[in-house]
A and B are shown apart, each in its own frame.
Chain A
Amino acid sequence: MAGKAIVVTSGKGGVGKTTTVANLGTGLALMGRRVCMVDADIGLRNLDVVMGLENRIVYDLVDVVEGHCKLRNALIKDKRVENLFLLPAAQTREKDAITPQQMKEICEVLKEEFDYVLIDSPAGIEHGFRNAIAGADEALVVTTPEVSAVRDADRIIGMLEAHELGAPKLIINRIRPDMVRRGDMMDIEDVIEILAITLIGVVPDDQDVIVATNKGEPVVFDRRTRSGQAYHNIVRRLEGEDVPLMQLDNDGLVERLRRLFNRDARRRKAQ
């Protein structure tokens, strides 16, 4: 049975597309799925370093397109998990080194061999973006709860719909429960209300992600971390499981006090 190709995109740069692809790819492979991650960010490749596979690249996406090697030879096998592969982007080429049609063909071939083909899209809405979405069956939009990121996400959602990649799902990244509690950050509900699309996951802002990236080991390997747990939950939702959103508020003293007071207030009101 053919797998499906999912593009991870955002419009704005730096919101965590690559980290998302690395963690969802690794997470899906940890659940026994056959996964190929494709770095479509030609000229600014990063998925290889986030995955810790940068030293093993021989061929890349453009080499495949130009016939310098077979697709199979360009795939890098992750040695930590079964059935996890990376097709790296070319670093010294321009974004127009491949066409949407070529990208589509590569995705078609990969889908025959893998359950999931995860495509890491470059930031922006130009050629690179159009390449990244060309072969995709579904789309995930990553945003942070900031004005600029949500605005760009809205634009991307519009463009995905124009390319018949309707019903993209949203990942809200780097949410900070403490700031949400203070009313200084948009909440999950706020972002969903504005963008009006389906949510597939929320990832809390977590220092462990930076530590993991420093080491080249996706944080999903360590499910004791909050972000690792969050990515694992998204993976299960991709697999069709119904997983409730994780409780983001860590039980700090202030939070417990607030709940106590609120409950008291409600009781008094009820009397």
Chain B
Amino acid sequence: MLEFFGRLFGRDEGSKKAAKDRLRLVLVHDRASLSPQLLESLKEDLIETISKYMEIDTEGLEVNLDQEEDTMALVASIPIRRVRRGVAAKANS
């Protein structure tokens, strides 16, 4: 009886919540599926930008997308050979 009134007065969540939650989750995965080309071009851009500040080991560079439940993260491992002296000096001055 209580449930009936709950539904009548629109307090119950119904199946819409399930739809929304499932959709959110599936879209995180859909949107995260970057094409290999895109990931490659992201890698190149990263190398270019970071190289302005430090010398990096481009061979050992790894870029990946990590997904867990409804969050995702860009995880990059970038071995640094050395920080460029000029940049460090500029930052200190």
Chain A contact residues, CB within 8 Å of chain B = 146-147, 150-151, 154-155, 158, 180-187, 190, 194, 254, 257-258, 261-262
Whether B7 pairs with A182 at a CB distance below 8 angstroms is: yes
A-B contact pairs, 8 of them (CB 8 A): A147-B26, A151-B23, A154-B31, A183-B17, A184-B15, A184-B16, A185-B19, A258-B8
Interface size range of chain B in the complex: 10 to 19
Closest 10 CB pairs of A and B: A183-B14, A184-B14, A184-B15, A183-B16, A183-B13, A147-B23, A147-B19, A182-B14, A186-B16, A258-B9
Segment 1-56 of B: residues with Cβ below 8 Å from A: 7-10, 12-17, 19-20, 22-24, 26-27, 30-31
Which of A146, A147, A150, A258 contacts B10, CB < 8 Å? A258
Whether B24 pairs with A158 at a CB distance below 8 angstroms is: no
Question: Which of B10, B22, B23, B26 has most A Cβ within 10 Å?
Answer: B23
Min CB gap B27→A, angstroms: 5
Report the bound CA distance from A146 to B23 in whole Å.
9
Report the bound CA distance from A258 to B10 in whole Å.
8
- Report chain B residues within 8 Å CB of A257: 8
Q: A181-B10, A258-B9, A261-B9 are in contact. Are A186 and B19 (CB under 8 A)?
A: yes
**Nearest chain B residue, comparing its CB with the CB of A194:** B23
Whether A155 pairs with B30 at a CB distance below 8 angstroms is: yes
- Report chain A residues within 8 Å CB of B26: 147, 151
Min CB gap A87→B, angstroms: 34
Whether A186 pairs with B27 at a CB distance below 8 angstroms is: no
- Report chain A residues within 8 Å CB of B30: 151, 154-155
Whether B31 pairs with A183 at a CB distance below 8 angstroms is: no
Report the bound CA distance from A186 to B26 in whole Å.
16
**Nearest chain A residue, comparing its CB with the CB of B17:** A183
